[in-house]
Amino acid sequence: MIDTPVLERVLAEALRHGGDFAEVFAEDRSTSSALLDDGRVEELSSGRERGAGIRVVSGETTGFAHTADLTEEGLLRAAEAASAVAKRDGGGTTTVAAGPALTETTRPRGDERGSVSLGSKADTLDLLRRADEAARASGDSISQVQAGCGASRRHVLIANSEGLLARDEQARTRFSVSCVAVGDTGLQTGFESAARTLGFELFDEVSVEELAQLAASRAISKLSARPAPSGELPVVLAGGSGGILFHEACGHGLEADHIVKDASVYTGKVGQQVASSLVTLVDDGTVGSEWGTFAVDDEGRPAQRNVLIDQGVLTDYLWDFLRARKEGRASSGNGRRQTYQHLPMVRMTNTFLLPGEDDADEIVAQTPKGVYVAKLGGGQVNTTTGDFVFGTTEAYLIEGGKITEPLRDANLIGNGPEILKRVDAVATDFAMTPGTCGKDGQSVPVGCGQATLRVTGVTIGGTAE
């Protein structure tokens, strides 16, 4: 995107008036999406966005400017703007736009749709229609089906005043199915998705029919669901389903920006037992083609495997480049940003609990009474206290060591550190799920995972007495 001599001159301009550090982050992103709603193509679109963000750090002050003009003149203007902000006293961060953000988007209509980068138009629409048919074939109660496919290809270039020059190319593809079932209890919904850091070859690994049948079965099962119980009960989280809980309830509290501000319940606890000895928590941006995988982070640092909790003992935090630099240590490869218009911050990649040695069926069989959560929904956490609330989207009652009746959606309420200490069984059936992590107004793709496990007590926010 930008020649090396140009990068060198831009970095020199950024530091011409003083400063400790300068960085150029350039990005060229292409996106495509297609949506089939009740058998009709509602969207087939593509877009492209190119630009660069320039960061200048002087003491405790950060200046940041972004521009869609990738000519040398445009980049020099952005460098000058970022440098001017960084010279100001008082600390903090200021962002300015050095030029208009240019985004090309096309939404073809009718027979002029052409092709999309998901694959050919015919192949993409065939996948969507196959998913629609499979969902409807799951039962007469399915009244509405929506299937969507999206892809992106992202080229990034990072250069800084310490001599780093890094490039990466990331292709990501996602497919999702949402179903509505109608019955005597009203409308119920089911959802399932698959996402990988892959191109169209995702569909060599993933069956859209299976995704659709799973989404439909979730919606149908809820038609006969009973109210969830209330109060504290053992909870068994199915493999892959509960990774988002540990991402939110524990992972965010281990990000170094919260740690240095003393805004995390895990501050100052390295070397201490913070979880059950069955818990080993890892963040790893190198895992195969998972949703949070990449070669280098958005500060140019190689992705790596970071063990955060080892057999219950807190071993480290997640670090971006600048915070690690202040501590005299290396980045853990966790500096991430949504686009070139955003500053990097400490973020997770693929975060998961390592599998254990128990049998998943035996964990259920050894639970006299509890709740089996097959799928978690969204949630939120207070990193300072570790308190969290998560919704369930597919859950069942456990009675006499057996999974019995489906339950209506309810909340799991608890505290991250307490939940970690209450894990008393972990199975071998490890699985990952994709997700989108939001933090301070930015969203990035992440992976979450774990094997089937049991927590001895979680508060269930159901409605049954």
Q: What is the pLDDT of residue 95?
A: 61
The neighbouring-strand residues paired with 170 are: 154
Would you tell me which CATH number, out of the four given (3.40.50.720, 3.30.1360.30, 3.40.630.30, 3.30.2290.10), belongs to the domain 4-222? Answer: 3.30.2290.10
* Model confidence at 435: pLDDT above 90: yes
* Model confidence at 58: pLDDT above 60: yes
Q: What is the pLDDT of residue 92?
A: 65
Q: What is the pLDDT of residue 218?
A: 94
The arithmetic mean of pLDDT across residues 355-379, rounded, is 95
Alpha carbons 265 and 101: distance in angstroms, whole number: 39
Angle among Cα 181, 43, 180 to the nearest 5 degrees reads 5
- pLDDT band, residue 119 (cuts 50/70/90): low
Poorest-pLDDT segment among 105-114, 266-275, 317-326, 419-428: 105-114
For the chain, helix, strand, coil in percent to 5 are 20, 45, 35
* Model confidence at 106: pLDDT above 50: no
Q: What is the pLDDT of residue 96?
A: 52
* Model confidence at 260: pLDDT above 80: yes
Q: What is the pLDDT of residue 221?
A: 93
The arithmetic mean of pLDDT across residues 76-86, rounded, is 94
Q: Report the 10 Å Cβ neighbour count for 92.
A: 9
* Model confidence at 239: pLDDT above 70: yes
* Model confidence at 101: pLDDT above 70: no
- pLDDT band, residue 365 (cuts 50/70/90): very high
Amino acid at 336: R
What region does 333 belong to: left with phi over 0, alpha with psi -120 to 50, or beta? Answer: left
Q: What are the DSSP E strand ranges found in 74-215?
A: 92-97, 103-106, 142-160, 165-183, 186-196
Q: Which residue has the tokens 């009474």?
A: 369
294 versus 102: which is more confidently predicted? 294
- Cα 456 to the chain's mean position, in Å? 27
- pLDDT band, residue 89 (cuts 50/70/90): low
Poorest-pLDDT segment among 78-82, 88-92, 322-326, 401-405: 88-92
The arithmetic mean of pLDDT across residues 138-145, rounded, is 97
DSSP state of 253: G
The arithmetic mean of pLDDT across residues 418-436, rounded, is 96
Q: What is the pLDDT of residue 285?
A: 98
Alpha carbons 112 and 414: distance in angstroms, whole number: 52
Alpha carbons 399 and 203: distance in angstroms, whole number: 38
- For the chain, give the mean pLDDT: 91
The arithmetic mean of pLDDT across residues 205-218, rounded, is 97
pTM for the model? 0.92
- Smallest Cα–Cα separation from 216: which of 127, 126, 139? 139
The arithmetic mean of pLDDT across residues 47-64, rounded, is 95
How crowded is the C-beta side of 154, counted as CA atoms within 13 Å?
26
What share of the chain has pLDDT > 90, as a percent?
83
Q: What is the pLDDT of residue 167?
A: 95
The arithmetic mean of pLDDT across residues 48-73, rounded, is 95
What is the domain partition of the chain in residue ranges? 4-222, 230-461
What share of the chain has pLDDT > 70, as a percent?
93
- Smallest Cα–Cα separation from 154: which of 418, 369, 370, 445? 445
* Highest-pLDDT range among 59-63, 117-121, 443-447: 443-447
